[in-house]
Chain A
Amino acid sequence: MGTVYAKAEPGESEVGGGLFEFEEPIELDEEPIPKPTVKLGGVRARVDRVHVDGLNRTKDDIIKSTVDDLFHATDFEDVILRAHKVRRALDSMGCFRDIGVYIDVSSGPGATPEGLEVTFQVKELSRIVGGVNTTVSENEGNLVVGVKMPNVLGRGERVQAEYSMGYRSSSNFSIAATKPYPHKPLVPVVSATVYQQNHEYPWSGYRLLDRGLLLDLAFRTSPATKHNLQWEGLVRDTSVLSKTTSFRVRESSGPQMKSLVRHIVSVDRRDEPIFPSRGVFVQFSSELAGLGGGVAHLKTELAAQASLPLTDTLSVQASGAAGVLHDVFGSELADRLYLGGPASLRGFAQRGVGPQHDRLATGGLAYWAAALHLWAPLPFVPPRAGLGGLFRSHLFLNAGCLAAPEGGAAAWQALGEARAAAGGGVALRLGRVARLELNYCVPLRALPADRAAPGLQFGVAAHFL
């Protein structure tokens, strides 16, 4: 009795494994705090002392301010809850693995009668973590080398670098440095990234080589509201994929420089990001390009999602998305908006909706999309435990439209030509940041120019419509 421990299950907070495909520090599961069999609420308690064992290069001040919260506890249950919170805070710093919490009665000089001692047993991550990986995509194999230095300066700063090398002179790399300020107001996190990325867009017939610098300031105005303020400067090299690519795509090739500021605000009140059963999520991003460089435009996009549980296991979800691009000068295919594909408008090929040129998507200036889902656990499997927790099945109906309107009444008319598809399938959770969907889709309404994709459709993404 009386002793509480909270212990990460082995492997869960393991940061060194894999190649940090998932950027965010992996959060712990909402593990239930062991319900005490004896009511502890009435037992008065105060924390006399807090020990943190296993610190090596992490600075004291940052730990002190993190555990400060514990001293305000008044009864025993409070101590347990706060200790749990502090443990999560320590974990989210991304500097430790295997954090253990021990609560003991205090003894020795200065001990008060109801005094307790809280001990955190932590283990710092090694100074440098590395990995080598190979990936094989459609066209070529890649060798990926990653290095991560958690907690470089002792206050949760991170540097991570990744380099991937392809067969013929196509290489990607990124170097990111992050510094959190966990105890400043609004909990800001500052980061800077230098990158070079190759992307191929066979649906539009072009290839991009982006080289750039991204500065990001993330902060929270409330626990659920997150802001990102970004500046990005990049040089992008567009080239066509083949000799027979449409001339419209060919016209947009060549190097361009783009400098932009972006603001993203998201409010997340869902109970769970991948398979939410209740709550609302809204994200609004606006992008202003043209502070120097050869591209100027204003782009705004909105995504929203609301879920409501019907029964214990069934839930209904409605989601919507919309975006507008206002071009001032120089905006090319890569800047435009696209719609269609397994993660956006299901039942259509990737970028399969809207303006086309020789069967290559050339993008639009405005879009909207909406979807209605009915989520249920996988039949015949217990919904929460093991395998059942990884899978969900759903039925969906989605509709949307992408257009490049001229303005005025024509714009509304162009945006009224909705495309729709319905279907159902299963989804699999991949970690805590992405999911995989396999759906059978039936396009209900499509224009002749669209590339509908009836039948099975498969997609992996962090965010689905």
Chain B
Amino acid sequence: MASIDLDIWRGEWGLASIDLECLKVLTYMKFIGVPVRVREANNPYFTPKGRLPVMRDGRNVLTNFEEVVDYLKSLHYSTDVHLNTMQAAEASAFTQYLRDKLYPAYQYTWWVDEKNYSDVTRPAYSKALRIPFNFYYPSRYQNAAKEMIDALYGEHTDLREIEKTIYSEAEKCLKTLSDRLGESEYFFGNRPSSFDAVVFAYLAPLVKAPFPNATLSNQVKGIANLSRFVARINQKNFRHVTDEYNKQNAKKHSTGTQSDKEAANFPNQTRNKILAALFAAIAMTGYAVANGMFQRWSTWSWQRTLLLNRFRIAKKQFDKTKKLKAAKSSDNPA
């Protein structure tokens, strides 16, 4: 018990982790105060499902939030003991509600929206990953998210329409959540529960990550009690992370801020440049072949041969007719 290991995605923008699932587990563990050794993984290749977080306790390897909650409960660590059966039922219903309405919007904001993906999501994940995994995992996660959106909202529907539906559903969901929270400190009573960890994990990245297309983030920030909820939990549990981030930020301001972002971007840029050049070369060659540029070269020399031939044949034919005529004229008088 003394040595629970937790592998997570590294943090950014003052978050303990950039990933929803990691943040759920991390927050939950902070709530119960279980001793844990957190490690920022730089590749998820050797994890059971190719995803993080991974919690290891001796021989037990757990890969998602529900399993972690159940496992810790079996060790008599739980935040949900103060919930009565009705509240427990409600908590599980609300968890599904978030999964149903907010999760698609969350995934859309992080992965499907191309601008967010290329400006924020991919650099953030690339920075956490080691070469060569940073070429592979972000696009793999993006494809998974796109497939989910396609499966839920129809492959042939216009993406803009899907976006509108998703965000308006998410807005309703956030409003409902805010109504349910009211002015309480936590969702169930005055102590945190696993559901609070889930809500915090959804909302905190939306509040902190600097998305260029920030529809969902603005919706969260626009609801006062939810923003306060996020700030409160952050302050209580992740104060050191935020402080460190602020400190670094201040330092970076004096030295220059751009370099960091560029470093994260750089490997992708090189790759893209090489790929683009390769593609252009192939495309141009293909075009040239298609238009018969090479054929024309060969045709030209062929035509010259033919022309020479023609002269030769014409001369021969002329000679022969002359000979025949000569023969005829010599026959006739005879």
Touch between A and B in complex, CB under 8 Å? yes
Chain A residue nearest to B282 (CB atoms) is A132
B313, A3: Cβ atoms closer than 8 Å: yes
Total residues of chain B contacting the partner, CB 8 A: 26
Q: Roughly how many angstroms separate A14 CA and B292 CA in the complex, as a whole number?
A: 8
A5, B316: Cβ atoms closer than 8 Å: no
- Closest Cβ of chain A to B146, distance in Å, is 10
Within 8 Å CB of A3, what residues of B? 310, 313-314, 317
Within 8 Å CB of B291, what residues of A? 17
- Closest Cβ of chain A to B108, distance in Å, is 15
- Subset of 26 A-B contacts with CB under 8 Å: A2-B314, A2-B321, A3-B310, A3-B313, A5-B310, A11-B292, A14-B292, A14-B295, A16-B289, A17-B292, A18-B290, A98-B302, A98-B303, A100-B306, A104-B316, A105-B316, A105-B317, A123-B302, A130-B286, A131-B286, A131-B290, A132-B283, A132-B286, A133-B290, A168-B156, A168-B159
A1, B292: Cβ atoms closer than 8 Å: no
Within 8 Å CB of B314, what residues of A? 2-3
Q: Roughly how many angstroms separate A438 CA and B126 CA in the complex, as a whole number?
A: 55
Number of residue pairs spanning A and B whose beta carbons lie under 8 angstroms apart: 63
Q: Roughly how many angstroms separate A105 CA and B317 CA in the complex, as a whole number?
A: 6
A102, B313: Cβ atoms closer than 8 Å: yes
Given contacts A98-B299, A168-B156, contact A105 B320 (CB under 8 A): yes
- Closest Cβ of chain B to A80, distance in Å, is 13
Within 8 Å CB of B304, what residues of A? none
A1, B317: Cβ atoms closer than 8 Å: yes
A1 contacts which of B295, B306, B321 (Cβ < 8 Å)? B321
Given contacts A98-B299, A105-B317, contact A16 B292 (CB under 8 A): yes
Question: Any chain A CB within 8 A of the CB of B155?
Answer: yes
Given A16-B292, A97-B295; 10 other pairs, CB 8 A cutoff: A2-B314, A3-B314, A19-B290, A102-B309, A102-B310, A104-B313, A104-B316, A105-B316, A121-B306, A168-B156
Q: Roughly how many angstroms separate A11 CA and B287 CA in the complex, as a whole number?
A: 16
Chain A residue nearest to B313 (CB atoms) is A104
Within 8 Å CB of A16, what residues of B? 289-290, 292, 295
Question: Any chain A CB within 8 A of the CB of B46?
Answer: no
B318, A1: Cβ atoms closer than 8 Å: yes
Given contacts A102-B313, A131-B286, A169-B156, contact A2 B299 (CB under 8 A): no
Residues of A within 8 A of B (CB): 1-3, 5, 7, 10-11, 14, 16-19, 97-98, 100, 102, 104-105, 121, 123, 130-133, 168-170, 239
Question: Any chain A CB within 8 A of the CB of B296?
Answer: yes
Chain B residue nearest to A134 (CB atoms) is B283
- The residues in B between 166 and 223 inclusive whose CB is less than 8 angstroms from any CB of A are none
- Closest Cβ of chain A to B221, distance in Å, is 31
A130, B156: Cβ atoms closer than 8 Å: no
Within 8 Å CB of B310, what residues of A? 3, 5, 102
Q: Roughly how many angstroms separate A170 CA and B286 CA in the complex, as a whole number?
A: 24
Q: Roughly how many angstroms separate A453 CA and B292 CA in the complex, as a whole number?
A: 42
Chain A residue nearest to B298 (CB atoms) is A123
Q: Roughly how many angstroms separate A1 CA and B317 CA in the complex, as a whole number?
A: 8
Given contacts A16-B295, A104-B313, A239-B156, contact A130 B318 (CB under 8 A): no
Q: Roughly how many angstroms separate A100 CA and B308 CA in the complex, as a whole number?
A: 13
- Closest Cβ of chain B to A127, distance in Å, is 14
Given contacts A102-B313, A169-B156, contact A10 B318 (CB under 8 A): no
Within 8 Å CB of A1, what residues of B? 317-318, 321
Given contacts A3-B310, A16-B292, contact A10 B299 (CB under 8 A): yes
Chain B residue nearest to A114 (CB atoms) is B324
- Closest Cβ of chain B to A120, distance in Å, is 12
Chain B residue nearest to A139 (CB atoms) is B158
- Closest Cβ of chain A to B155, distance in Å, is 5
Chain A residue nearest to B161 (CB atoms) is A243
Within 8 Å CB of B283, what residues of A? 132
A2 contacts which of B159, B303, B317 (Cβ < 8 Å)? B317
Within 8 Å CB of A105, what residues of B? 316-317, 320
Q: Roughly how many angstroms separate A64 CA and B314 CA in the complex, as a whole number?
A: 26
Q: Roughly how many angstroms separate A98 CA and B304 CA in the complex, as a whole number?
A: 13
A132, B156: Cβ atoms closer than 8 Å: no
Chain B residue nearest to A207 (CB atoms) is B156
A132 contacts which of B290, B292, B299, B317 (Cβ < 8 Å)? B290
- Closest Cβ of chain A to B151, distance in Å, is 12
Chain A residue nearest to B314 (CB atoms) is A3
Q: Roughly how many angstroms separate A130 CA and B303 CA in the complex, as a whole number?
A: 24
Return the CB mask of B242-269 against A: 1 if under 8 Å, else 0.
0000000000000000000000000000
